[in-house]
Amino acid sequence: MLLFSRQGCIRLQKWFVAAGERERRQTRRELLTTVLARAPRSSSCLQWRDLRIIYKRYASLYFCCAIEEGDNELLTLELIHRYVELLDQYFGSVCELDIIFNFEKAYFILDELLLGGEVQETSKRVVLCAVQEADDLQVVSWFFDKLSHDTAKPFGITHDVLGTLFPFPGRRSHIGSLGSELLLMKSRNTLVRPCS
């Protein structure tokens, strides 16, 4: 998966196959030139070596995926669209600058969406929950650090006190996942079961 701007600057890249640095650089260069040279109203698929490249342009950003022979082109387009929707919802009407400044967030979202090259989680809400959860974690851990170092002591707040505030005692990393856990428990139903 490759994201690049109209000027040909790479914004984000994710490789699901092992490739050396030189190979990557060459692939990037070739893809940039082929995709940027395409006529505006042509289809989103093109053959590149033995892979097919699916790309889509959103404003000034090109999203680019390479797929193998057996994969479905239209579905890959939809995957790109889903990723853009996720970014949009996460950043609130996303623009290229958001991705430049918070590219690690963009990576995290992509990681939730795809795992090892396979589509992992397609539900928009679940992905966003997972990312949000991690963000909460950052805040909470920062809070904890602050507490344990200086501010907490004068106020007499200790880990134990904090623990009672949250229903999951024990390891503090559990705390961050609380919100989404509740959400998930409420909404997920388990209808599909193989009738074997």
Partner 1 sequence: MSRVFGRALAVLPAELGGSAPGPLHTLLSALASASSRQEEESLVRKELSIIHQQLNTANFNPDVASECLVRLIYCATLGYPIGFCTIHALTLAQRGSSWHKRLGYLACCLLLHENHELLLLLVNTLMKDLQSGGPLEMGMALMVAGQLTPPHAVSSIMPIVIDKLAHSREFVRQKAVAALTFLTFRSCSDKSLDNENSDNCHPSNSYQRDVFLRAFGDRDPSVMAASLPALLHLAKRDPDWCRTLVPALVGVLRQVIEGRLHGDFSFHGVPSPWLQIDLLRLFSLLGKGDHGTSQQIYEVLGECMERARSKQMSAWAVLSECIRTLSVLPPHLELWTRASDFVGEMLQSSNANLQYMGVRCLADMARVEPGTVLCHRPSVMCALEQPDPAIRRRTLELLCRVVGQENVEAVCGHLLSALRDTQDPYEARSLASRTLDLAYRFSPNSEWLVGIVTEVLSMREEIIPPDEPGRFLWLLVKEEEESAESLKFHALQALMASSTAISSRTSQPLLRAITWVLGEISHVQPDLSPADISSRLSRILVPPASRQGSHARASSLSIPIETQAWLLTGLSKVLSRQANELGNASLITEQIREESKDGGQDVEMTREAGGGGEGGSFARKDTDHFLEKAEIFSKVDDQIKNMNASQKNQTSSSPEVIEIKVNGSQAGLSSEECNESGMGERVDIMGTSDVDQDKVCLDKYETEAGKSEISKEDSGTRQIKLPLPTLDLLSDDPCIQQLIDELRRLWASPSLFATVLPASPGCQTPLVDPSLPFLDGFVAEAMRKGAAPYIPPQLRQLDKQGSSYDAREIQVSGAFSESVGHGTSPTSTAGNSWAQEAGSDASADVPQPATRVWGPEGRTRCPSPARPTATTSLPTPLSGSESGSRPSSVLGAVSHEESREREKDEEIQEGRKKLAAALFAGVGNIQEHGSLSRTNRDLSPASESTKDVSSHTALALSTEEFGKLWTSAIHETRFAVSPPDAPGLPNHLPVAPGKAWLLDFAIQALSAVGFHNVATAGQELLFAAQDTKTGAPLLLHCIVLLTGDIQLCARAKAPRLVQPMALSVQRALSSPPWPALNQKS
Residues 145-164 that bind partner 1 (CB under 8 A): none
Please give the helix or strand (H or E) that residue 165 lies within, else none: helix 159-165
With CB under 8 A as the contact rule, the residue among 36, 58, 88, 174 that binds partner 1 is: 174
Q: Does 43 bind partner 1 (CB under 8 A)?
A: yes
With CB under 8 A as the contact rule, the residue among 92, 116, 154, 156 that binds partner 1 is: 116
- Which residue intervals of 37-116 are DSSP H helices? 73-91, 96-101, 103-113
Closest to partner 1 by CB, 144 vs 157, is 144
Q: Does 22 bind partner 1 (CB under 8 A)?
A: no
Closest to partner 1 by CB, 93 vs 196, is 196
Cα gap 3→5, rounded to integer Å: 7
Give the pair of three-digit tokens for residue 80. Answer: 């790109």
Q: Find the shortest distance in angstroms from Cβ 155 to partner 1.
A: 22
Closest to partner 1 by CB, 10 vs 59, is 10
Strands of 2-5's sheet in order across: 10-13, 2-5, 61-67, 51-58, 45-48
Structural contact between residues 105 and 113, judged by C-beta atoms closer than 8 angstroms:
no
Query: Which residues are CB-contacts of 169 (< 8 A; sequence separation ≥ 6)?
Result: 163
Question: For residues 53-112, which are near partner 1 according to CB under 8 A?
Answer: 70, 72-75, 77-78, 81-82, 97, 100-101, 103-104, 107-108, 111
With CB under 8 A as the contact rule, the residue among 159, 173, 179, 182 that binds partner 1 is: 173
